[in-house]
């Protein structure tokens, strides 16, 4: 049985673009697998907002992200990529958290080079190339020591400028320089936010040396797309339903049942176990169950 990391690496090594389905909870993980995605992605902003109601600006910890990622990974058979932010503050953090991700069944992550507190009011800039290489190297060392495969994606924020909320300066030359350095340190793929405009140039710059991933959009010749953002729709729908209930005393716009619900939560499996136990012990069982 291949490990999650081996499954993800096999997908990447095929050289065919694929999409990692957007997930932010165990049930959404089941959904993306159910509809046929070959892999799944858990964003940091999605998880911090949906599970802890805090922003993704450095306040949200890797301990919390690993906890939720493990819940998702362990209800799916497809590999999960997680947003690992900066992997903590030191190379020791990077090693420790990478080991924890692997132990919890996550297939890979992306680690970024913006200094904490990231995506915040603070004008922070990026880690030096040498510091980020050291983080990637520590993560790769943890992978080797684990004896399992694990995919490391280096996120470079150089093209995410300060005026847009990022830590970079917008230099394509520096972005490419960093990409090559991160690949040399052991990264398996590169990822450059915030949008699609420079991706074609980046893909051309790296050629076949290392794949370039995208987030939220698919482009030709890129390795894979890490889809995210579904939590916003879920939260907006919940807000709409809550307001409707508060204002009218009922909700007419909700869909409280759908045919796939029972399969997605393994209801038939557990019903079968209970029915078998009832039959074997002379207890009554019934043809229906609570909705």
Range of the domain at 191: 4-233
**80, 107 Cβ separation under 8 angstroms:** yes
What does the buried/exposed string (b/e) look like for 203-223 if buried means 16 or more CB atoms within 10 Å of the residue's CB? bebbeeebbbbbbbeeeeebb
Name which of 55, 109, 60, 105 is nearest 81 in CA terms: 109
Q: For residue 154, what is the domain's CATH number? A: 3.20.20.60
Residues 211 and 259 in one domain: no
Q: Are residues 159 and 286 in the same domain?
A: no
Does residue 178 share a domain with residue 92? yes
To the nearest whole percent, how much of the chain has pLDDT over 90?
85
Cβ proximity of 159 and 123 under 8 Å: no
Q: Kindly state whether residues 269 and 225 are assigned to the same domain.
A: no
Rounded to 10 deg, the angle between the 129-146 and 172-185 helix axes is 30
Q: Based on the domain organization, do 148 and 283 belong to the same domain?
A: no
pLDDT of residue 256: 79
Q: Does any domain span residue 269?
A: yes
Residues 165 and 274 grouped into a single domain: no
121, part of any domain: yes
Tens digit of each residue's pLDDT, the chain (291 residues): 899 999 999 999 999 999 999 999 999 999 999 999 999 999 999 999 999 999 988 788 999 999 999 999 999 999 999 999 999 999 999 999 999 999 999 999 999 999 887 777 777 889 999 999 999 999 999 999 999 999 999 999 999 988 888 889 999 999 999 999 999 999 999 999 999 999 999 999 999 999 999 999 999 899 999 999 999 999 999 999 999 999 999 998 777 788 899 999 999 999 999 999 999 999 998 988 777
Contact status, residue 29 vs residue 23, Cβ threshold 8 Å: yes
Does some domain include residue 78? yes
Q: Does any domain span residue 248?
A: no
pLDDT at 54: 93
| Tokens read off for 281 | 């012990």
Residues 180, 214: one domain?
yes
Instruction: Examine residue 75 and state whether it is found in any structural domain, yes or no.
Output: yes
Cα-to-chain-centroid distance, residue 170? 25
In terms of domains, do 185 and 264 share one?
A: no
Domain annotation covers residue 178: yes
Residue 185 domain-assigned (yes or no): yes
> Residues 229, 265: one domain?
no
Q: Are residues 148 and 18 located together in one domain of the fold?
A: yes
Q: Is 97 within a domain?
A: yes
**What is the tally of structural domains in the chain?**
2
| 148/196 same-domain check | yes
267 and 224 inside one domain: no
């Amino acid at each position: 049985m291949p490990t999650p990391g081996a499954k993800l690496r096999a997908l990447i090594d095929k050289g065919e673009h694929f999409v990692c389905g957007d997930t932010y909870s165990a049930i959404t993980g089941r959904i993306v697998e159910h509809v046929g995605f070959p892999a799944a992605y858990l964003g940091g902003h999605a998880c911090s907002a949906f599970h802890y109601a805090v922003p993704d600006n450095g306040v949200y910890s890797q301990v919390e992200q690993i906890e939720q990622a493990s819940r998702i990974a362990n209800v799916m058979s497809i590999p999960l990529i997680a947003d690992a932010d900066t992997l903590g503050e030191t190379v020791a953090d990077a090693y420790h958290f990478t080991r924890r991700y692997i132990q919890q069944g996550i297939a890979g992550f992306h680690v970024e080079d913006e200094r904490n507190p990231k995506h915040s009011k603070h004008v922070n800039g990026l880690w030096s190339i040498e510091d980020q290489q050291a983080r990637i190297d520590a993560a790769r060392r943890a992978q080797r020591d684990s004896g399992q495969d694990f995919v490391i994606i280096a996120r470079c924020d150089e093209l995410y400028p300060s005026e847009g909320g990022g830590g970079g300066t917008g230099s394509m030359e520096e972005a490419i320089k960093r990409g090559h350095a991160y690949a040399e340190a052991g990264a398996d793929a590169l990822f450059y936010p915030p949008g699609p405009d420079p991706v074609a140039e980046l893909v051309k710059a790296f050629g076949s040396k290392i794949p370039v991933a995208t987030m939220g959009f698919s482009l030709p010749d890129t390795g894979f797309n890490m889809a995210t953002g579904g939590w916003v729709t879920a939260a907006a729908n919940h807000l709409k339903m809550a307001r409707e209930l508060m204002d009218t005393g009922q909700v007419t716009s909700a869909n409280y049942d759908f045919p796939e619900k029972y399969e997605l939560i393994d209801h038939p499996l557990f019903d079968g176990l209970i029915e078998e136990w009832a039959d074997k012990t002379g207890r009554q069982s019934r043809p229906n169950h609570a909705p």
